[in-house]
């Protein structure tokens, strides 16, 4: 799987996000780009006492590499379940989940761990930072978990680049308790990017933030998406945030009710 590791450098890999503004949304989410994620006939059914909850019901979606995609929908519509399936935190009851060309059901536990480490970064609603570590150490943390951590000087250089990217240079040695909610979410974004993943999954990354801070966080994710060409998939139920996405997948009761991709999106 090493060949799938994202080796783009900090400065390289930037692509154009050309002329996407004002482009109409297409209704079949068509694209010629390479798929980052593909869900084929995916169901997720949770047992609940003597009955069951059909959290995801026959979802077919493809998200293209480099997209800034959102999964929108009301509470309980299946957003977190789908992100957990893409992130290999959960397995589908039926159907197939493919992540950068890998059929996740065909992978061993070890291969899943590796795919998650190398290809996927997570941003959570509640930030999930380690309270005793400072900003630098929180961001560096995922780099120490892999089988071959990069040398210290390389880690330092990339972590400092990420700290600058998310605008926290002055807070480098602060602990999470000394940061605002928006600053904590910036740390979480930088941490998700530490292993240079191809895909970043964010489950309601703005839910615990006021709307101005939430918009700034989404703008930051969008800028990183454009600069580093990282695919972002984030869930939200905030309609104003949906507008910035290249690809909108709207769910209702576990089903896709809208799947539209901006025609000007990069392929
Ligand atoms: N572990 C579980 N066991 C049983 N039911 C579950 C489980 N996880 C989720 N569900 C149910 O599946 C459905 C979809 O839940 P999910 O968390 O994906 O929704 P969501 O769109 O993320 O909602 P929210 O906006 O509130 O976060 C809900 O009806 C939920 O109660
Ligand atoms: Mg959720």
pLDDT tens digits, one per residue of 153-165? 999 999 999 999 9
Higher-pLDDT residue of 1 and 98 is 98
| C-beta 57 within 6 A of ligand 1 | no
Q: Rounded to 5 degrees, what angle do the CA atoms 181, 167, 162 make?
A: 105
Q: Which residue has the tokens 């493919």?
A: 98
Among 121, 115, 149, 153, residue whose Cα is nearest residue 3? 115
> Does residue 28 belong to any structural domain of this protein?
no
Whether the predicted pLDDT of 17 surpasses 60: no
> Does residue 11 belong to any structural domain of this protein?
no
Q: With a threshold of 0.75, does the pTM exceed it?
A: yes
Whether the predicted pLDDT of 2 surpasses 60: no
Q: Quick one: average pLDDT of 248-264?
A: 91
> Does residue 43 belong to any structural domain of this protein?
yes
Q: Which helix (H) or strand (E) holds 190?
A: helix 181-193
> Does residue 76 belong to any structural domain of this protein?
yes
* Closest ligand, as measured to the CA of 202: 2
| C-beta 73 within 6 A of ligand 1 | yes
Q: How far is the CA of 75 from the centre of ligand 1 (A)?
A: 8
pLDDT band at residue 263 using 50, 70 and 90 as cut-offs: low
| C-beta 176 within 6 A of ligand 1 | no
Residue nearest to atom 30 of ligand 1 (CA): 76
> Does residue 8 belong to any structural domain of this protein?
no
Whether the predicted pLDDT of 27 surpasses 50: no
Task: Answer for the pair 162, 155: CB distance below 8 angstroms, yes or no.
Answer: no
Q: Quote the distance between the C-alpha of residue 196 and its chain's center.
A: 12
> Does residue 146 belong to any structural domain of this protein?
yes
Query: Two tokens at 61?
Result: 């979606």
Residue nearest to atom 5 of ligand 1 (CA): 46
From the number of C-beta atoms within 10 Å of its C-beta (0-12, 13-18, 19+), residue 141 rates as middle
Higher-pLDDT residue of 222 and 17 is 222
What pLDDT is attached to residue 12?
35
Higher-pLDDT residue of 65 and 239 is 65
Phi-psi domain of 119 (left: phi exceeds 0; alpha: psi -120 through 50; beta: other):
alpha
Task: Answer for the pair 159, 138: CB distance below 8 angstroms, yes or no.
Answer: no
Mean pLDDT of the chain: 87
What pLDDT is attached to residue 16?
32
Full residue range of the structural domain in which residue 64 is found = 33-262
> Does residue 131 belong to any structural domain of this protein?
yes
Contacts of 257 (CB under 8 A, 6+ apart): 250, 251
> Does residue 222 belong to any structural domain of this protein?
yes
| C-beta 81 within 6 A of ligand 1 | yes
pLDDT tens digits, one per residue of 63-94? 999 999 999 999 999 999 999 999 999 999 99
- Count of structural domains, the chain: 1
Q: In this structure, what CATH number is given to the domain that contains residue 114?
A: 3.40.50.300
| C-beta 45 within 6 A of ligand 1 | no
Rg of the chain on CA atoms, in Å: 18
Cα–Cα distance, 122 to 83 (Å, whole number): 10
What pLDDT is attached to residue 31?
60
């Amino acid at each position: 799987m090493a060949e799938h590791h994202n080796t783009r450098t900090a400065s390289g890999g930037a692509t154009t996000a050309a002329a996407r503004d004002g482009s109409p949304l297409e209704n079949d989410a068509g694209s010629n780009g390479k798929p980052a994620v593909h869900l084929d006939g995916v169901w997720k059914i949770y047992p609940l006492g003597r009955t069951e909850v059909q959290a995801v019901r026959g979802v077919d979606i493809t998200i293209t590499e480099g997209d800034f995609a959102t999964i929108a929908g009301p509470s309980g519509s299946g957003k977190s379940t789908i992100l957990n399936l893409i992130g290999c935190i959960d397995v589908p009851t039926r159907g197939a989940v493919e992540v950068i060309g890998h059929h996740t059901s065909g992978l061993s536990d070890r291969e899943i761990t590796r795919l998650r480490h190398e290809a996927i970064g997570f941003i959570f609603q509640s930030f999930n930072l380690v309270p005793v570590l400072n900003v630098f150490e929180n961001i560096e943390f995922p780099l120490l978990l892999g089988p071959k951590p990069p040398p210290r000087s390389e880690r330092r250089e990339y972590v400092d680049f990420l700290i600058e990217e998310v605008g926290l240079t002055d807070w480098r040695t602060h602990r999470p308790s000394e940061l605002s909610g928006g600053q904590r979410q910036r740390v979480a974004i930088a941490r998700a990017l530490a292993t240079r993943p191809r895909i970043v999954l964010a489950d309601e990354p703005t839910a615990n933030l006021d709307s101005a801070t939430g918009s700034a966080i989404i703008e930051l994710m969008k800028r990183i998406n454009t600069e580093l060409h990282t695919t972002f998939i984030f869930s939200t139920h905030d309609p104003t945030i949906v507008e910035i996405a290249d690809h909108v997948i709207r769910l209702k009761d576990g089903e896709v009710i809208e799947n539209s991709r901006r025609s000007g999106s990069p392929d």
